[in-house]
Amino acid sequence: MNYVIEAFSNLERFFAKPETLHIFVNNRFLMILLVIVLIKAKYKTYSSLCLSALVNIPGTFLHEMSHFIVGLLFNARPTRFNLWPKKRDGGYVLGSVSLTNPQFYNALPASLAPLLLLIIGYYFNKWYFANVKIGYLNYIGYIFLQTVIIENAIPSMQDFRIAFSKPIGVVLYFALILAGLLYFL
């Protein structure tokens, strides 16, 4: 029994060292491992609709809210904001926002709006490492929040279908981006 107590004491001393925290925070392998464990745990919840809803609602809220806000700004007239997952075709539809006025000028930005979450994740990252005293638990919390933000920044296949449903809009935005790049470079 003394060996077990001594082993836990040694482990506690090891994790209390600042060098250990530095290794933990600056190790990309451990960070990727932690992200994969979080995602695997999330996918395990998909066997239960209620548990899936509970785990996915924060990210789904961010994703759908980005559609809603950009849809409002671009006159796509968003309606039916839904966060509750539904079983469909052997999987889940985690949330939805309906656009009642998808036009050539608003389908692409409203549908790809979740990509804006990448900007939020980028600035959250900068803010976090400049302002937070890093510890094990808050670093794991940081990994969790960034995983939620980045994972939900990826538009769904339905989002891509709507975004590219108006070819004139795609050409318009491609030309605007190209013109902007040529101007600033």
The whole-number pLDDT of residue 7 equals 80
Higher pLDDT, 71 or 5: 71
- Tokens 């077990």, located at residue: 4
pLDDT tens digit string along 114-132? 999 999 999 999 999 999 9
Ranges of each domain in the chain: 19-184
Q: What is the mean pLDDT of residues 144-150?
A: 91
pLDDT tens digit string along 163-185? 999 999 999 999 999 999 999 98
Q: Using CA atoms in the order 61, 41, 93, 144, what is the torsion angle rounded to 10 degrees?
A: 20
pLDDT tens digit string along 42-85? 878 777 777 777 778 899 999 999 999 999 999 999 998 888 77
Tokens of 150: 């980045």
pTM: 0.81
Alpha helical stretches, state H, the chain: 2-16, 18-25, 28-44, 49-73, 107-111, 117-131, 136-151, 157-163, 167-184
Tell me the C-alpha distance between 7 and 98, whole Å: 57
Question: Which residue type, as a one-letter code, is found at position 16?
Answer: A
